[in-house]
Structure 1
Amino acid sequence: MRTAPMHIASIGTALPGPPVDNTTLGKLFGVSDEWVDLFVGTRTRHFARDPGTGEVLCSLADLCAEAADRALAAAGLDASDIDFLLLSTATPDALLPNTASLVADRLGLNYLPVYALQAGCSGALQVLDLGRSLLSVGHRTGLVIGGDVTSRHLDPSRSGSSIPTEELVNYVLFGDGAGAAVLTAEPLGERIAVRALLNQFAGHGRPTGQGVEWRGPADQETGRPMLFEDYKAVEESVPPMSVEILWELLDGLGWSLESLDHLLPPQLSGRMTQRIVDHLAIDGVRETSCVADTGNTGNALPFLQLHRLLPEFETGQRALALVVESSKWTKAGLALEKI
């Protein structure tokens, strides 16, 4: 668990287009609002591609650059103040050039470290971990970004009746988006101190719980779905793993459960998040969630939660963010204090 000094000065987010509700998706794929609510619990989501035609409305680089611009503006900084850029995604615009480099170029950055990280939702905390390391060796200000455009893997030409249920859920579960944070060695802007950061691979010997394919012309006939999720494994594993993260953070810092003011739980879906919160059974702590309104946006989710937390996060208060990535099982967590 990392405890070196690091501060979050600001958060910026970007969601493409207007929200798409369940009724709209139901007309496209032949599912009812009740079915979506029963299995997923998500009300709306945003897509970077038109869900009816597949027309590209914006790229991942577009969303990440927009979120980064907003984070810089919120911190009162410009590109010349940034010492490094880190970006995490599971759905890059291309394998090369990497999306981090494209975003750096759009922001006008040059001659500084730029890293691209491939990960699921835990990637947002992994880039924070890497950012802490760069700050610890002398950098003063950095930009970390997480985002995903999962809609590129969903085929709008397919009829809902021809899609197996385990695949159809993905059409209503996921959304697209991006988030960014300005990191500083000293308190600035929002003055949020990162008191601890947990980032642990926990999948030795375990089957994968989620997969996202990337194929070229030579392997189109594999028969594997572009997106898959083992919902039973997620349902069984994520709640107890969330409890483990919670107590590892609290025990590592010597914080009591009673000293906690805010909780940012894992954001897999509206239904799953509620199961996790019920399993944690924490009273008197305010929950900050977004997935029911945004869909599962992968690497963007923790930034979207943090953005929602900001107006309610008061000086002296403490917050924990918990993340479980089910692809090959990663535990991640963040302990924050407003100073």
Structure 2
Amino acid sequence: MADVDIRVLSVGTALPGPPVDNAALAARFGMDRLWQEWIDLFIGTRFRHLALDLETGAIRCSLADLATTAGATALARAGITAGEIDLVVLSTATPDALMPATVNVVADRLGINEVSTIQLQAGCSGAVQGLDVARKLLLSGAHRTALVLGGEMLARFYDLSIDLAKLPPEQLVNYVLFGDGAGAAVLTSNPAPGACSLVSTLTRLEGLGRAPGATLEWFGPGERGERVAATEDYKAIEEHVPVMAARTVTELLDGLGWRPDELDYLLPPQLSGVMSARITDHLGLPEAHVVSCVDEIGNNGNGLVYFQLERALPRLAPGDRAVGVSIESSKWIRSGFALERR
């Protein structure tokens, strides 16, 4: 099946609620102007979308809600019916429940049944892991058309009663980096003239002997105690992610026999506005057009790759090539993919 071409027919995305800017976030938590300036200068993320109503504390939607909307949009854009899907893959770090799996709830809502479903528990690299799993299964001939989804519902970890001024940086940063959202793509091994080809995917665990750079906890009744739900070692991320991203790009290009100057588009890791720009500079691909959106929508983890793809695919002309990179700091996973409009 080596000569089979896996094509991306469409992408759909979904965001909850209106964008929340840094001024609104600072006002809600009673922080001063210096805090807002710190976000602008060191984080570089201007907006995020939250499923949480900051005034009332009410959760407005679930991950299944967002993924269903994104999936329905992707199916409609591809001109594909639910009955034509024979594989559904969803990646997330924040499923709605441990059981039932969110992927099955989404499939049910979309009218997809009697198919293989897979849910991957993963951080930011999960979006590429989902594309990787789907691509390999399509290449095997076991399936023909897949709906691949990813997203996060991080609003549930917001504590609106907390005094942010008393938080250490590894906890404070989570209140400004992240947002909610979901995306979806339709992949197929069927002929699809003009569609963009997903020519390569890779994921590599590099966490041997290295402390996690991010944690996200699940708690049962009576279990939490003094444990913190989410932490982020931003300094370790600043140190390791650019290097891991560069290795990923090199491995993708070498595997395909592409030269760096033949790359038309780059979809860099999307931790924050500042970090994405720093990583892009480190990669040294000045001729590649950069597709980045984290400064506009916040870091919604497994959803971000789909938001980048939604922006990139319409721009790729025949013969254009693109590489995307996603790095997960929880146990240091690097992942990437390559696209070509053939």
**Class of the TM-score when normalised by the shorter of the 2 chains:** over 0.9
Superposition deviation, residue 190 in structure 1 = 6.1
Residue 125 of structure 1 pairs with residue 128 of structure 2: yes
Amino acid at match of 1:71: A
Residue 161 of structure 1 pairs with residue 165 of structure 2: yes
Tell me how many residue pairs correspond in the alignment. 337
Cα distance between partner residues in 1 of 2:32 and 2:340: 43
Superposition deviation, residue 144 in structure 1 = 0.4
Cα gap change, 1:47/1:31 in structure 2, threshold over 3 Å: closer, same or farther? farther
SS in structure 2 at match of 1:130: helix
Cα gap change, 1:187/1:175 in structure 2, threshold over 3 Å: closer, same or farther? farther
Cα distance between partner residues in 1 of 2:42 and 2:172: 11
- 1:192: which partner in 2? 196
- 1:13: which partner in 2? 13
- The answer as to whether partners of 1:140 and 1:184 remain within 8 angstroms in 2 is yes
> Where does 1:111-122 land on structure 2 (aligned, <5 Å)?
111-122=114-125
Cα distance between partner residues in 2 of 1:317 and 1:292: 25
Superposition deviation, residue 225 in structure 1 = 1.7
Superposition deviation, residue 224 in structure 1 = 2.4
Aligned counterpart for 1:64 among listed residues 62, 67, 71: 67
User: Where do 5+ consecutive residues of structure 1 fail to align?
Assistant: none
TM-score normalised by structure 2 residue count: 0.95
Aligned counterpart for 1:178 among listed residues 176, 182, 206: 182
Cα distance between partner residues in 1 of 2:221 and 2:4: 46
Aligned counterpart for 2:328 among listed residues 325, 328, 331: 325
Superposition deviation, residue 220 in structure 1 = 1.8
Q: Deviations over 1:119-175 (max 9, x none)?
A: 011111111111122212331111000000111111112122233332122111101
Cα gap change, 1:208/1:4 in structure 2, threshold over 3 Å: closer, same or farther? farther
Amino acid at match of 1:34: E
Cα gap change, 1:249/1:31 in structure 2, threshold over 3 Å: closer, same or farther? farther
Cα gap change, 1:3/1:42 in structure 2, threshold over 3 Å: closer, same or farther? farther
The alignment's C-alpha RMSD in Å is 1.5
Cα distance between partner residues in 1 of 2:214 and 2:137: 30
- 1:240: which partner in 2? 243
- 2:281: which partner in 1? 278
Q: Deviations over 1:29-51 (max 9, x none)?
A: 21532111122100000001112
> Where does 1:94-105 land on structure 2 (aligned, <5 Å)?
94-105=97-108
Cα distance between partner residues in 1 of 2:163 and 2:209: 37
- The answer as to whether partners of 1:86 and 1:143 remain within 8 angstroms in 2 is yes
Q: Deviations over 1:42-66 (max 9, x none)?
A: 0000001112332011000000000
- 2:81: which partner in 1? 78
Residue 91 of structure 1 pairs with residue 94 of structure 2: yes
- The answer as to whether partners of 2:4 and 2:189 remain within 8 angstroms in 1 is no
Cα gap change, 1:145/1:334 in structure 2, threshold over 3 Å: closer, same or farther? same
Cα distance between partner residues in 2 of 1:3 and 1:146: 28
Residue 23 of structure 1 pairs with residue 27 of structure 2: no
- 1:309: which partner in 2? 312
Cα distance between partner residues in 1 of 2:190 and 2:338: 17
- The answer as to whether partners of 2:104 and 2:117 remain within 8 angstroms in 1 is yes
Q: Deviations over 1:177-223 (max 9, x none)?
A: 000000100343761111111111111111100111110113120x2
- The answer as to whether partners of 2:173 and 2:232 remain within 8 angstroms in 1 is no
SS in structure 2 at match of 1:51: coil
TM-score normalised by structure 1 residue count: 0.96
- The percentage of counterpart residues that share the same residue type is 52
- The answer as to whether partners of 1:42 and 1:291 remain within 8 angstroms in 2 is yes
Cα distance between partner residues in 2 of 1:245 and 1:4: 24
User: Where do 5+ consecutive residues of structure 2 fail to align?
Assistant: none
Residue 213 of structure 1 pairs with residue 232 of structure 2: no
Residue 49 of structure 1 pairs with residue 52 of structure 2: yes
- The answer as to whether partners of 2:71 and 2:149 remain within 8 angstroms in 1 is yes
Aligned counterpart for 1:149 among listed residues 132, 135, 153: 153
- The answer as to whether partners of 2:59 and 2:155 remain within 8 angstroms in 1 is no
